[in-house]
């Protein structure tokens, strides 16, 4: 089975809402739990969204960085953090950014 172009890491409120929105618009999305993420999970993703608690973002970024292809986009959704948690991904030649929603996510 071919992996989805967009990988959302985190099955909480934000991750589930993003996955539902993208899927409803025809995007191929894979939603995985954050605590089990590894570098192997990201090998074919073009976009990786880390929808995880602030305290675990840097650790998750470090775990996935070795599996990232050059030019993959890695985003996180933490409103109070900048790009610092994604430094490992940037070093792995990924494009990094912050995608914080302006609206709250439904339960």
Residues in the chain: 107
SS3 content of the chain, % helix, strand, coil (to 5): 40, 20, 45
pTM across the whole model: 0.89
pLDDT in tens, 45-101: 999 999 999 999 999 999 999 999 999 999 999 888 889 999 999 999 999 999 876
When pLDDT is cut at 50, 70 and 90, the band that residue 2 belongs to is very low
Max CA separation in the chain (angstroms): 37
Token pair in block for residue 98 = 């912050």
């Amino acid at each position: 089975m071919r992996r989805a172009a967009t990988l959302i890491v985190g099955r909480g409120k934000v991750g589930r809402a993003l996955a539902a929105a993208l899927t409803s618009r025809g995007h191929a999305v894979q939603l995985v739990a954050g605590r089990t993420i590894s570098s192997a999970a990201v090998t074919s993703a073009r976009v990786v969204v880390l929808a995880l608690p602030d305290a675990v973002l840097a650790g998750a970024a470090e775990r996935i960085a070795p599996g990232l292809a050059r030019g993959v986009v890695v985003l996180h959704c933490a409103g109070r953090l900048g790009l610092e948690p994604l430094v490992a991904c940037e070093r792995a030649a990924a494009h990094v950014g912050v995608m914080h929603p302006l609206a709250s996510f439904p339960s």
